[in-house]
Structure 1
Amino acid sequence: MSKNKNKNKNRDRVGQVGTNGNSSGATPSAPKVESKTPSSQELLAVNEVSESAIAEAADVDIDAVSTMTITPEMTNLPALLRKAQEALELCRKREKRANEFKEELDKERVKLSDQEKSQRERSRELDRQEKELKEERTALDAQQREILDQEEALKKRELNAEAGFITERRESLRLLEEEARLVRQEIGDCRKVVAEERLALERDLAHRMEEHEELLRRNEAEMKSRFESEYEELKKNEQKLHLQLVDIERAKRKLEFERQDIEEQRKNLEQRTEQRAAAREEALNFEIKALNARLSSASADRDRLDAILREREESDRRFGNKSPEQVLAELNESVKCCQKLEKQLAARPNLAAVERLALLEREREAWEGEQYRLTQEKLELERKLGLCEIAVTEVETLRDQKKALETSRNLLQAALEELRADVEDRIRRSDGVSPFPALMQMDEDKALRSSVNLQEDAIDLSEFTTDLQHRIASDPDASNPLYYSLRDLRCFLGGLAMSRLHLLQGISGTGKTSLPIAFSRAVGAGFKLIEVQAGWRDRQDLVGHFNAFERRFYESEFLQGLYEAQSPCYDGRPYIVVLDEMNLSHPEQYFADLLSALEQEPHLQKLDLMTAPVEPAPKLMTNGRTLLIPRNVWFVGTANHDETTKDFADKTYDRGHVMELPRNREEFAPQRPHHRNPVAFESLKGAFDQAREKNGKHGTHAYKFLDEKFAEFLGRKFRVGWGNRLERQMMDFVPVVVAAGGSVGEATDHILATKLLRKIRNRHDTRMEHLVELQTLVQESWKELDKKGKPTHSLAIIADELRRLGSGDDE
């Protein structure tokens, strides 16, 4: 404010001096003064030059102004105007460079704002600063206008000086010196402000460059990660496509050979009919029959090749009329593209290259704009050309389609010839080779062909059970010692006598899978562990299947186990097939044939593997197509019950022996057993038969007890009943448990819990009062069967159901 006041005072003084000069009348050169008065255009030019010079002044210019000395030449307005115009031109060039720099900054700002939201905030901050700079520039413009006023006053004083006003000239020179001092002071202040703003702008620019480099590094990392993910996705898609192609090819081959089998069966049937009808005329019609056979074969080949051609056309249609080679070529091209991108990513440019890339990017943007304009012009010209030449294009399109169809036909013809050659080669190589390579290899295995010495002495089941417990606990082949109670082992032996199908249930880690394997090792029996899969649906998943295209039967581990069980090495010993996680799929589907066969007489228990005999066939197969189920084989399935498993059907529970192993088992110090030969199957079976003869009355008594005490009550209250199968099973189970050292109550408790009370679990129509009555009935009537023992398993099931229904009675 003090500076402005001084300026106003100086203007007032200049005005007073001019007025006094005019009033004195001593103005002889008044016309000359008017001739030298600057025009309005000159004043506007001076104003423009001053504004631009102050706004665009550099440090060097400001220093020059601050240090210059006022000379008489400086009061010459035309010279000052010329110099001011030169300064204006210089300022315009600088302003142009500044504008170019500003445009580059704007482009960078726009680019950064698109990549990061935070950059928008910084851009707004810069706009605010720019607005403040404009305001400051407006203030400088006001100062510049004041300087123009001062220059105008100087012009007046110059005129007065020319008129002879020496005193006024001196006064005006003093005032000019004072104003020059004030201007130098203001210029110094402006220089400081400009320096501070330039330093701030340089800092902000450096900060933006750092952020830009950091953004480039992040983009590079994201691009690398995206390329890697896309490459992995491409590999997964390639694997999926390969698997789909394999599945399609396998299904196509399976369908084709099924059709061939049917066709061959039909031809064989027709051939046999013709042979029987024309037996007497065979000699006369031999040549005719040969010609007919050749004609039938040619027709079959034609039909087969037509079917193959139709399937291949359908396959080509599904793949967009692309051959497998083209699909594979596209996949290979994708892999090469990914590898190329990886190499490009590994060869990312350095900082200098990034700067060069930024420059090229700006040039590319300009080129793209020009390219877009040219593209639009090109499209317009092409549209006009297309309207004129549409007929020619249609003809060329039809010609291209014709060529494509001819190429596809040639490829299909070549593939058909290749397929025919492949089929003929496979048929030629399969002649004289057995479709059961694994079973044939077992026939040649010396270890399986040789017999072993067996322990054929009579077995005392009580001593056998105790010895079995210690042998299992001290098994050197087991990773951890296994401790099973005598009650569990007695129940397992009773189940072996009762049924050839065992279902071992319980939570994970209770030794369900280990029990049958440990039993096999302890008695020297054979075993085969089969891991059931969740996708099994029929017997082919369990037993295996025949591939007519390769003339080979894919023998599963299960089939090899059945064949191994009747080899000379194992036919005299027990053999256990363990189906681990049996209820991952429905056993009633994939195990249906075995469930049905086990209900038949022993000589009818068999599996039909082929529809017709094969040559050469494995030695132990009957009629070249049937495999008997050996008498020495037991099937033991383990089961967990959770959201990933299936429930067994009641018929499966009824046919099998069910055991639920406890969570905790008591440990003991096992005795070191003596060496013993493998136990003979006949010895074990003889021990079971002897137990039935000796303790058969206990089985009859136990069944009579269940029938009299629980049949009517369970049928009336819970709709639970049973048939003759339960009686047969109890006549086999109870005597063996008693002979092994158990009691009738122990055996009956297991049958009641697993065969009858199992059916009342988790039912929605169960009433609590009926459970209480059943609990009381079991507790009161059990003393008639076993005065010492208690039905712990049966009472536990009833207690669990009472808790489920909300009762706190656990007794």
Structure 2
Amino acid sequence: MEKSEIDADVKKREASVIEKEKRTQDERLAIEREKSRLLEQEKQIRAAHQIIETEKFKLTERERAIAIAEYKCDAGFADERAALSNELRRKRNQAEADISSIRIRRLSELDDEIAKLKSKRLDDITSAENLERERIREEIAKELEAWTNRQDDVRKRLSGERTEFERQKGALSALQSEVEGRKVELESAERMLERQEQRLEQKWQRRDEQIQDEVEEQLEERRKWMDDTVTNCKVENARLREALCVQTEILGAFEQLKRQLGGKDPAEILRALNSQTDELKRLREELASRPTEEMRVRYTALENEAMHQKTRADALELQRVSDEAAIAEVGDLRRQNSEFNAENRSLAHRASIFEGAANEAQAELNRLRAAYERPAEVEARYEEIEMPYISADKAKSPVKSEIDEKAWLADIGYACDAYGLHFNPRILKAFHTALKTAEWSPLTVLAGVSGTGKSELPRLYSHFGGIYFEPLSVQPNWDSQESMLGFFNSIDNKFDAQPVLRFLAQSQKPWSNDYPGLQDAVCLVLLDEMNLAHPELYFAEFLSKLELRRGRKGNDVPSIPVKIGAGMKPYELPLGRNVLWVGTMNQDETTKSLSDKVLDRSIIINFPCPTELKRRRKLAPLDEANRGTMLHKTSWQGWLALSSDFSDDQINPFRTFIEGINSSLAVTGRALGHRVWQSIEYYMANYPDVCAAQQTSDKNALAKAMHVAFEDQLVQKVMPKLRGIDTRGKSKTECLDKIRGQIITGVGGNSFNLGGDFDLACDLGYGQFIWQSANYLNLDDSCN
């Protein structure tokens, strides 16, 4: 099959796969819209229940207000009556002191006035109180009636919506089954397409190598043929020149003979001789008839003369035939000479063409052999890689100092809030702790929907924390380490170093007056949207080599060989501990899923979906004014817990919890390895709150901090390993349900707040367990 047909077939299959993906995506969007509608209905139902509860609370408060008002009315009447009695005693005493007669009259008037006032006051209070109570009772009756009617309506609507929900749930299950089947078909088609692409790549690679070999052989053969042809042409030209000289000499002899004959043509002379011969014959016959002595003498003389003339004529005839043959040969030689001259010119032209091609081939060969012929270029390419990425005027050498870890991390949180972005404190602590455990999990991955601050967190963390930061946008066509670091440009015969390679090389060089090395600084590299391409293709060797640092001391670290050209010694790039690696990962249809190799060597931090959208009134700049003091690597290394100081009583409950998950996973043929548990234990040992509690010997704070850190690791290390487990049948009842029961039970009677996220992972995975949420953090953030 021709390459064009194969390309057309591949394009057709790619189009078919894209079309299937598009249909699957449309169906998935329809399912998501249906789920959103159902969730919206559930929210409305919850809102209706909330309204009912609010109305009940209002009625209770109103009844309480009525009781308080009644109490105040009774208390107010008693106070007023006491005040009137005091006034009466005062006036009575005054009247007795002045005039007894006036006192008697005044007392009677006061008694009458008191009676009237008391009667009037009682009537007013009683009527107002009765009116208020009647009005309140009517309002309560109306509200109770309206509440009853609304409750009946809500019950009816809930009943109808439940029926509709069950029907749509059944339809959704059918759609999920169909989507699952199509997803399997799509994965099968993708695998087949990948295998075909690999076979085609191998075939075309072999064919290119074969064509290159054949071209080189043909060039060599043509060069040899050209040399042989030129040699033959030179020999033939020499022979032709010798023949031409001989013929020229013959032509000269012929011209000399012609001059000797008086310029007459030899043919005319031969004709004259022939006529004389005829005349001699006639004379001979005549003499024969006249046989006299004189005649005999004359006959003999004539005969001798005739013989002499005949001999001369034969000689001239032979000379003429020889001259004609020589003339014909000269003509042939001249014609052959002209032909050879034309062929020689053609050969010379072809020789110039082949010589040009040979010169081009030689130039290409010289370019390809440049590494062997010009070893000085190796140093030049090393210098190109080690050229400072951060110039001396922008780089600063960090200074050793004692820094409190919790205060440093808290300052970063405050600076982020002042900048206009708020990060959940648990996410900030989890991100910081994940970077501290790089010996066990060298890659920290921030996952979540787009726009939740995944890329901003590493940038602000580095800026406000005094860490050198280098972002790297991953491209979908990255398929090798060279795509990330740089490659040898065979056209320009030089090595094109990418900025991240120069940044990494500078991070391993010491600071000097001539070179702004960052060996004493802490650096952070961000692989932004790292799953646009398969990380196993462009980052596999980094993951393997970074893991080899575990157990080594000081500067004894592995290195990455960077290919700088054919036949040249690779540039050894050390993977120092002062460089931290972070990646961001969007969860949509344009990205690739992470393999177990990447998951085992990573900590996945999920960002929760925002429940409340927050404003950002202005965009503040990130400059030297708000940049944190540059962090020295000794300060960072001083925060690291290189060993686990937990006692068996403290750590065994958590290890037993992981072993219980392993027992449940045995049903599905899966398990959590030793590396996962070791990473969990060292994460807990490096958690800032755990370190602070160990320093103060606060057992209650330590237990709480260990519980929080372990809950983070369940989400970051354990739940991604459950991906793909069937959420139906035996896998659900004997594996997922048991793990959920462990989560609810918790450790030491303290449960983990992950039940809602666990159920969401079971429901939204199209029949498979997929953990993609961190809603438990929203509640934690609201509490803070």
TM-score for both structures, normalised by structure 2: 0.45
TM-score for both structures, normalised by structure 1: 0.44
